[in-house]
Homo-oligomer: A and B are copies of this chain.
Amino acid sequence: MEKMEKRSVEQYKVFDLNIKGSKAGNPFKEAKLEAVFSNGTERYRVKGFYKGDGNYGIRFMPGSVGEWKYEIFGMDVDDERIVCTEDDKIGEEKNDENGERRSGSFLCTPASEENHGRVLLAKNVYQKGEVNFYPTEDEYHFAYEDGTRYQPFGTTCYAWINQKEEIQEQTLETLKQTPFNKIRMCIFPKSYSYNTEDPEMYAFEGDAESGFDFERFNPKFFENLEKRVNQLDELGIQADIILLHPYDRWGFSKMTREQDIFYLTYVVRRLSHFKNVWWSLANEYDLMPQKPVENWETYAHVIMENDPYGHLRSIHNCIPFYDHSRPWVTHCSIQRIDVYKTAEMVTEWRKQYRKPVVIDECGYEGNIDFGWGNLTGEELTRRYWEGCVRGGYLSHGETYVDRGDQIWWSHGGTLTGDSVARIGFLKQILAETPVDAEPLELTPENHEENWDAPCMHLGDEFFLYYYGFSRPLYRNYTLPAGKKYKLELIDTWNMTIEELPEIYEGKIRIKMGARQYMAVRMKQVESENV
């Protein structure tokens, strides 16, 4: 038997099979195609999908290095045999006696340095037994599946893939310059204030005038979507994909339950092999009263059945929260519930849900008429800090109405606001916190010194206080007894870190300069370093 060189795929990247088949009938709806991938210990059942023009896809993201074998099972609409294309001939491959079964294998090579795989709940990374440094009981954080720390710093461009080609390219160019590592984006176009144009392509066949065929997808739309998700991945950006939303004049928000399930099944089969995909079932689910809770529950299970990789899942509110304690909800994806107080609620929400708290909309920097979209850069930055020091995560958005044709929050394009640089600065500060630092709990003992400012700490080793809109001339601290500290004064708005020259211990008073938006970082020093 002749030994052929195996097809190889980098860990966490995509093994892509294109399979030729029939175009007859409606293959989107009627074709069945799946494959089983196994490396001997792990086994994945992967659903295929119709790509149009007689092409079917099976895509697999291997999470472990070494040899993977696969078998394909399938039948197209005419009950013709699936024919594997040239691509599949690489590797060990055979038809079974009935000609219905194709199999093969490929080699999964180790991930390159920048490739860390999926983002998962930190506790699940630990359970997988990979290298990682999260405490077992961690409930509030994320990690890449290789154990690398992942702290979401999101932004929002809801309808960027529904803009003109050049705007999409510009958006990617802009993103490249930002600190953002997650983006919230819709599949369907957006019909809303400042969003009045029809897109060039839709997910379904049809058009705005003559209507849409909710049983046939638009291959070109999905090719572009895949391309964009892949480009985001190359920028290290998680695509938090919003599957359904209410801002609609085309009928996509009012599909029937069956149509929703058909759509979700297809999208999830088509995109789940991207390691950077997150599923957001809806934006403002509560503005779609036509979809009862039992539908969302069903949809969540449709997603789980069709996503063999268990990507992160959430559902985003307008006013009332969805019940984030539902087992399928991996993390809270929260919108501001109050004009005045949202990021400050992270403390309570962590306790309530015992899951990572991501405030995906805490208001946007800009000057549009809506109260959620006319914050100053200072205020958005303050909310970001406030939420992060409390152990949560936030998303950015920008809504200037007088700075060009595009508004970032919806169209993408360019960013002009003041908060982006400060969010980048915060990202750096947060990356430097110990991985198991957690918000300081208020106790009767520490209440007097700590009631008015959030603090993140790791035991007595590390403290990060944040003072927000307060502007104390100085603050008093009672440092843990018998321990010595170096202190840094952080101006979160001017992005400066001033290391104070002394070594501190005991009761101290630190001059803060009566400035707003200050933080104080304290690191314990060993006696020998003093």
Contact = CB atoms under 8 A, between A and B. Distances in A.
Interface of A: 338-341, 344, 367-372, 374-376, 379, 401-402, 451-453, 469-476, 514, 516
> How many of these chains are in the complex?
2
Contact of A469 (B341, B375, B470, B475): B375
21 contacts: A338-B341, A339-B344, A339-B451, A340-B340, A340-B344, A367-B472, A367-B473, A367-B514, A368-B472, A368-B473, A369-B472, A369-B473, A369-B475, A370-B472, A372-B452, A374-B470, A374-B471, A374-B473, A375-B470, A376-B469, A376-B471
Nearest to A453: B371
Contacts of A470: 371, 374-375
B340 A376 contact: no
A474 B338 CA distance: 22
Contacts of A344: 339-340
Interface of A is mostly: loop
A451 B514 contact: no
Nearest to A469: B379
Contacts of A369: 472-476
A15 to B, nearest CB: 49
Contacts of A341: 338, 340-341
A131 to B, nearest CB: 40
Contact of A452 (B339, B469, B514): B339
B374 A472 contact: yes
A471 B367 contact: yes
A196 B297 CA distance: 62
A371 B369 CA distance: 31
Most buried by B among A453, A470, A475: A470
A471 B399 CA distance: 11
A452 B370 contact: yes
A340 B466 CA distance: 14
Contacts of A516: 376
Q: 8 closest pairs, A vs B, by CB?
A: A371-B452, A367-B514, A367-B473, A374-B472, A374-B470, A369-B472, A341-B341, A340-B341
Contacts of A453: 371
A326 to B, nearest CB: 27
Contacts of A340: 340-341, 344
A394 B313 CA distance: 45
A417 to B, nearest CB: 12
Contacts of A370: 452, 472
Contacts of A371: 451-453, 470
A374 B339 contact: no
A472 B472 CA distance: 30
Given A369-B473, A371-B452, A375-B471, 13 more contacts: A339-B451, A340-B340, A367-B471, A367-B472, A369-B476, A370-B472, A371-B451, A371-B453, A374-B470, A374-B471, A376-B516, A402-B473, A402-B514
Nearest to A475: B369
A471 B370 CA distance: 10
Contacts of A402: 473, 514
A214 to B, nearest CB: 30
Nearest to A401: B473
Contacts of A452: 339, 370-372
A16 to B, nearest CB: 46
Contacts of A476: 369
Contacts of A514: 367, 374, 402
Nearest to A363: B470
A367 B467 CA distance: 12
Nearest to A449: B369
Nearest to A509: B369
Contacts of A474: 369
A476 B372 CA distance: 15
A477 B375 CA distance: 20
Nearest to A371: B452
Contacts of A379: 469
A32 to B, nearest CB: 46
A339 B338 CA distance: 15
A367 B473 CA distance: 5
Contacts of A339: 344, 451-452
Most buried by B among A341, A452, A474, A476: A452
A469 B376 CA distance: 8
